[in-house]
């Protein structure tokens, strides 16, 4: 399983509420058309947790949400990246996402 994880921050001038509304009502439906996309998860921020024994990682921007896109394997992800449907998703993202930090990870379940 290959997964992309994106930490998203809204564009300047966008309220958090406007960002969330667009992400849920406009952006999310575009994901349904992406070929090979196994799962799409929007993680809506509910708070931040800190620990006294480990310092916080400084990201330099407030995060408005975390997106996860799941694919069966790297080949499926690469095919999806080349698709017009993914291009449309990325173009829409550029309308309301001001900053993003993306990771490509291989999932290894510990407890399933």
Query: pLDDT tens digit string along 32-50?
Result: 999 999 999 999 998 888 8
Dist CA 13 CA 82 (whole Å): 31
Dist CA 81 CA 43 (whole Å): 21
- Say yes or no to pLDDT of 109 above 90: no
**What CATH fold (topology level) applies to the domain 2-47+63-106?**
Alpha-Beta Plaits (3.30.70)
Which pLDDT band holds residue 99 (cuts at 50, 70, 90)? very high
pTM: 0.90
User: Exposed, middle or buried by CB within 10 Å (0-12, 13-18, 19+), for 69?
Assistant: buried
**Would you list the domain boundaries of the chain?**
2-47+63-106
């Amino acid at each position: 399983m290959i997964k992309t994880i994106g930490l998203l921050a809204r564009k300047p001038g966008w309220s958090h509420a406007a960002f969330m509304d667009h992400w849920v009502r406009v952006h999310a439906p575009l994901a349904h058309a992406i070929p090979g996309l196994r799962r799409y998860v929007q993680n809506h921020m509910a708070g931040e947790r800190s620990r006294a024994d480990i310092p916080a990682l400084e990201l330099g921007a407030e995060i408005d949400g975390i997106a996860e896109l799941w694919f069966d394997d790297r080949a499926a992800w690469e095919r999806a990246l080349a698709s017009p449907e993914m291009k449309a998703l990325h173009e829409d993202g550029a309308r309301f996402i001001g900053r993003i930090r993306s990771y490509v990870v291989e999932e290894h379940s510990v407890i399933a």
